[in-house]
Every structure is written in structure tokens, then in C-alpha cells.
Amino acid sequence: MSARSTMRFVDWTMRPETAPEAPTMMHELQCTTCLAASSATEDFETARDWAFGHVGRNPSHQGYRETVTRFWRMTLTD
Ligand SMILES: [Zn+2]
């Protein structure tokens, strides 16, 4: 007689994080010339202001890369 095993497959659902302490989205801008970066902030305009200040001090630094962070929550579907 052979042993039998039971496997249960569980479905997960992924949704945007809704915890009140979780920001919707975080923005960070990095200069592609010297790699200096703004702080990560919920307010895109804060990161954008940093880029305007940076190009003002360094007129040849004209390329920027944005990193956006979003938070997700996994829950059991069952
Ligand atoms: Zn720079």
C-alpha cells in the first residue's frame, strides 16, 4: 500500500495596500549625470523641486530618472 499525500492549492489576491500608514506612492528622482538623488517622497512636486534646484546648480546635468514605489497587499482569496 502506498502512502498518499494531499496538496491544497491556495489562491492569493494582490491589491494596492490600503493600510492608513502606507503611502499610495513614493517618488524619487536621480540625476543620470552624477547620480545624486532626491529623497523618496509621497509628493512628486517635492522631488521635482529638487531636480530644478539640482539643474540650477549644475546646468549640464539635464537627465533624470524617476523611481516610483508602490505598496501591495496579498490576501487569501478563499
Ligand atoms: Zn547631477
Specify the pLDDT at position 4.
65
Between the CA of 54 and the centroid of ligand 1 the distance, in Å, is: 6
Query: Grid coordinates in use for 13?
Result: 489576491
Specify the pLDDT at position 1.
46
Specify the pLDDT at position 20.
87
The number of beta carbons lying within 10 Å of the beta carbon of residue 50 is 19
Delimit the domains of the chain by residue range.
Answer: 12-73
pLDDT > 90 fraction of the chain, expressed in percent and rounded = 71
Specify the pLDDT at position 53.
98
Residue position matching grid coordinates 502506498: 2
Between the CA of 66 and the centroid of ligand 1 the distance, in Å, is: 14
Query: What is the residue-level pLDDT of the chain in tens, covering all 78 positions?
Result: 455 666 666 799 999 998 988 888 999 999 999 999 999 999 999 999 999 999 999 999 999 999 999 999 999 987
Between the CA of 14 and the centroid of ligand 1 the distance, in Å, is: 37
CB 70 within 8 A of CB 6: no
